[in-house]
Each structure stands twice: as structure tokens, then as C-alpha cells.
Structure 1
Amino acid sequence: MIFKDILRQTRATYCLDCGKCTGSCPVSRVDVAYSPRSTIERVLAGRPEALINDQHLWSCLTCGLCTTRCPSDVDYPAFVVAARVEARKTGAEGVYAHNAIMQQLMGIMGQTMQQNRTGWLTDDLQTATKGDDFYFVGCLPYFDVIFADLGIVSTDAARDTVRLLNAIGITPTVSGDERCCGADLLLNGDEEGFRKLAEINVQTIAASGAKRVIFSCPECYNAFRNDYARYVGPLPFETIHLTELLAEHLDKLDLGDMAETVTYHDPCRLGRYQSIYEEPRALIQATGAELTEMRNNRAQAL
């Protein structure tokens, strides 16, 4: 894709140079040298090579906060990802967190391999190998290993997800053959690596006979909803986030009686990208807890 197409497809040609994107950007708040507005200006001025060679190309978090304030509806996150794809074609490596261990794992997952992805399952959990509902676990089993020194047990979330699904009468398929959704590869401009993982995941889910895929991870959910169809075609199954599904079955859930005061952070991918705001709040309120909103919430969440 050439940059004039990127400008057109992301509406960046309509940039008014108002600076609202930079004023709202969480990265610009801590790095005054970074500006979404000036990033687009370089390409509009016919200097895409200046952007490709600038490390700031990799600073954007693709959180999408700027898109809620842009009067011209410029899709800046999409602009950045497309620019990163072009940058990688020139040999740029990008900037990675945690010494790029997640990207390395995703590269391995794109190959033929055997995994122990279901070792986290316990005897009290009801799961299947085939069925109508597929639970996409994502990278939680790997997080347990990568962040073990922090005492984080990410698979607790997976176990609790299955327990909640069981409580509303669903016995989900859990597969040892699924891969990471690949979102981090795409966000770093690696289209082919992302495509490989998307193809494997769609094939794995289709082979299970699933009609619906349930996600607990907002990143995975958004990747399937927003990106998979562009790379592998229409999905042969429905997709739903756990909070959406549980909110439909509150009458079947006994969520206890919490006396605590809690708050909720709207994930970028679940909120701004997928417009799921009320279902998580309905679940929190169903526990009896008092929900206190953050100053920046819903579409304005940081």
C-alpha cells in the first residue's frame, strides 16, 4: 500500500491541523516530542520517509482516544498501523516490550507445533473438545510463565471464565491447538505473521464445530471482530465477549453480595473499539458492589 492510499483510507487527508489528537494523546502527555498531528503532517507534506525512519512511529499505543475527539473522523490508529507495515518492508524492526518475547512466541506459534495449552484446567471445570461454543483462551497460559516472577496467575481468569460459563449452562470447547490471536504482530506491522495465526485459529475453531466463539480478552475479541475478516475472509462463526453473554443471563448467576466500593477501567479494545460499556457495569452492579466511576470513563477512558 502506498502512502496516498493510507491517507485516503484513514481520512488523514481531512486533517484540519487542529491538534485535538495531540492534546488528548496519553503518549504526548509524557513525551512532548510526540505528536499525532505532526506525524500525519509529514506524510501530507510528501515526506513519508521521515516518518518511516522516526522511532516515534512506534510510540502510538493505538488506544483510539484521539478518534473520539477528531472533528474530521481521522482513523489515526489505522494510519499508524498501516505506516508500520510499510516501515517493516524497509527493514525497520519496531519497538517491543518485554524484550519482544511475545512477538517471538507468536512467530513460533505460526509454525507446526504441539502445546500444553490446557494444563490449567481443573477437575471441577466442564469443558468439551467439540461443540457449539468455543472459549478462546488466548495467551493466558503463556503469561503464567512469562510473568511468573511477578506472582501473576493469569489462568485464574480462564478458570473463572469457564466456571461462569458452566453456571449459565454452557460447556465450552477448550482447544490445545489454538494460537495467540496475533494482535501484537499486526500492531507492529507484521501482516504475514498475523495472517498465519489468524488462519490457524479460524481452522482450529471451525474444526471444532463451533457456531460461536466466546472471548474474555478484549484484545483477542477485537482482533477477531475488526481484523480477521480483512485477512482471512468472513468468519464461519459468531463472536461474543464474555461480559455481553453474562449480561444476557444475569438471572442464572449468583454473584454474591459484595459490600466493597469498586471502580472499572474501560479497556480500549472493548470500549472505544467495540462500544461495549454497559454490560461490564451491569455485572458489577449485580454483585451488590458500589461502582464509582473514574473521571475518564467509557469513550474517554485513558
Structure 2
Amino acid sequence: MKYFLILLTSLFIFTGCSSKKYFEVEDTLGDYESNSAQLSDDIKSFNKVGATLDNGEIITKKGVSNFKLPEGFEFINLSEDTVISTNYLGKILLNKTEHEFSTGVVAASLNNNILSLVFMDNSIALYDINSKKILMKEYYSKSLANDTRIANPYYMGSLILFPTLDGKVIVVSAKTKKVIRTIVVDADSKFNNIIFLDVVNDTLIAASSNKIVSVGAGVVNLKQYNIRDIIAHEQDIYIATIDGQIIKTDISLNIQDRRKYKYAKFYALAYGTSLYALESQGYLINISNDFKTDKIYDFSFDNEKKVIAIDDIIYHNDEYFIVK
């Protein structure tokens, strides 16, 4: 995996640190009180939907699981209660069942017996897990450098949405197994693989680390942001940017509200009853739903270790907690 996925820690977390300027707060509300629980080990790798711990156990959208991956495999998705993992060398596991391909798999989703795949060489495929046959395969431009947050394919009714490593979303008919549309999200950036893919109220939302697009009712909206994290909650999209902004948009990417935190470097966004942002200098920022006020807490964590947030849970170091 090391020779393919470039870990963007320096870009994703420490961009701008050469100026030696950091987010500072004169007064906080003190320590954030959370009922934290222990993980069985440190986080080894992660994407937007889960993580692998050093001991092979996994985190999914359902929380911490004692399901254990064999050595050399890493979690990429939970689909139809099936744990999908990869060794990046051509083998994937659907729970404990192995399937082998000629190229490493970096993203996958399962719907009934049809597995949608994104490969290391930026090809995409549909694969029948029963017959073990490739039903469709398309090739796209190779991408030699990628943000490690690689989105998985998405099943949307009769359509299958494939996020590519070169900044596109490929729309495939589940019936004909043919490409019916290509949506370009980010054609220019160096690290332009799709890091976020969701459908909100029948509107496709897709983002690279530099751009975000919404496609709905025949209308395409594209905005440019340097994105540290992005989440969807109900009908709203929340974006944390490299320049310290937290932006709330509707599904058409119209800005509803925004707040700016000078020199802030955000690790993750989580949503409990309102929005939370974890900041690199040991702060947890809680923004009110109307975006008019905030509460800033002290929150100690090791910023050299991996941090992820899934829905209302933040996982850090070797523990996790639910935001209020």
C-alpha cells in the first residue's frame, strides 16, 4: 500500500505550519466532558466509513467491531452487513470469503451478488460474486498520487456511482452494465481522487480535496474549496477548509452560514445535536445550529496519531466518544 497511497498527513493536517502560526483561544469552557471508551489498539488506517486497528479489529458505521481481519488486510467498506477488506495486492475479503483480481482493489461496495470495484490502476468493474465473473470493466487515466480518503462506489436505485482516482464520478446502469454519464469533479489538481460521495434528497454530492459538486434535477453546481473534512447531515453539507473555515451549505452548495477560525487546522467533523469540529491544538469546537454562537472546549489528544469521525462518534488515539 505504501508504494501506491501517499499518506497526506503533512498536507491534510499541517498545511501552513511553516508560518508557525496556530489557532489560539484566550478562554475556553474547560475540558470537554465525555464518556469515552477504549479501543483495543491504535488506528492503523481509515477512510470516511471506517478504520482498521493495529490488531486487525475494525471500526465501521455501526461502531467498534470485534470482527478481526487477517494480517495484511485493511477495511474499506461495510456493505449489506458484509465487511469488505483488501490487501491492495489483488485480494479482497467479503467477510472471510476471498476473491482475487489481477490488480489491487482500493474501494468496493456490494449490492446483492454484484460487487462494484475501483482498482489501483483507476479502472472500475462490476463483478458477480456467485459466478466470479467480471461483468463490466472500464479504464481511466492512471493516478500516481492519491489522498488516502478514497470514497467507495454508491448504489442509487438503478444506477451505480463509481468514484475514480482522477476526479470523476462514473455513472453506470445497473441493468445494462454500461457507462451512461461521466461527471467531472476535479480534473486539474494533483491529489484529485474522490474523497466523499453521497446522495442527499436525490442529489449527488461528490468532492475531491479541492472541489465539490452537486448534481440534482438536471442542475450541476461546482465550488472550489481546499477541504480538510466534509460531512452531510440531513439536508445540509458541512465543510471544514484548510484556511480555518467551517461552511454550511444546502444540497445545491449555496452557502447558508460560515464561521472562520484564524489559523485553525481541523482534523474531523462530527454531528451530535449540533456540529463539532476537532482542532489540531487540542480544542473541540461546538457550533450552534444557527451558526451564531459556539462553545470551545479543551480536548487533549495525540495529534500525531490518526483521528476519524463517523456520524456522532470521534475516534482518536486508542479511545472514542460520542458528541452531544
TM score, norm. by length of structure 2: 0.27
* Larger-Rg structure: 1
TM score, norm. by length of structure 1: 0.29
Structure with a larger share of its residues in strand:
2
Structure with a larger share of its residues in helix:
1
User: Relative CO higher for 1 or 2, CA cutoff 8 Å, sep ≥ 6?
Assistant: 1
